[in-house]
């Protein structure tokens, strides 16, 4: 994992949140997402659909077929009260191996980091 341009306390928090996001995705942990997604969150999915927070929470609470979801080459870019997290993923979906990329956008609001957007691709 990498924090760029320089390691910082915020960078470490964002790395932790990034890992928790992946675990929550694997476990269908709606409660984690409810706590960490901004009210105005949107997610661009690999199939081209755009989900608002409510649709994302509904989908996130359904049983996940993903296992072994891992982030690789994680890059955190701090831009004041906004941060971009870029990473490559590997996972299994049922019996099939898969991989992709994502970019998550985080904003510091009322002193804490909340995810405001996600863009996911699969290869």
Q: How many residues does the chain have?
A: 123
Each residue's pLDDT tens digit, 19-75 = 999 999 999 999 999 999 999 999 999 999 999 999 999 999 999 999 999 999 999
What value, to the nearest 5°, has the Cα angle with vertex 53 and ends 49 and 56?
Answer: 55
Between residues 53 and 1, the one the model is more confident about: 53
Q: Which residues does 105 contact at the CB level (< 8 Å), separation at least 6? A: 82, 83, 84, 85, 115, 116, 117, 118
* Domains located in the chain, CATH noted: 2-122 (3.10.450.50)
pLDDT of residue 123: 87
Strands (E), 1-123: 2-4, 37-44, 50-52, 66-79, 82-93, 96-109, 112-122
pLDDT of residue 1: 45
């Amino acid at each position: 994992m990498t924090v760029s341009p320089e390691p910082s306390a915020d960078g470490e928090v964002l790395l932790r949140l990034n890992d928790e996001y992946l675990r929550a995705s694997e476990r269908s942990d709606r409660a984690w997402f409810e706590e960490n997604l901004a009210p105005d969150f949107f997610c661009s999915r690999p199939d081209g659909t755009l989900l608002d927070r409510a649709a994302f929470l509904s989908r996130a609470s359904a049983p996940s077929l993903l296992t072994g979801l891992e982030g690789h080459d994680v890059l955190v870019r701090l831009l004041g009260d906004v941060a971009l997290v870029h990473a490559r993923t590997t996972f299994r979906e049922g019996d099939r191996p898969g991989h992709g990329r994502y970019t998550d956008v985080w904003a510091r609001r009322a002193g804490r980091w909340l995810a405001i957007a996600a863009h996911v691709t699969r290869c």
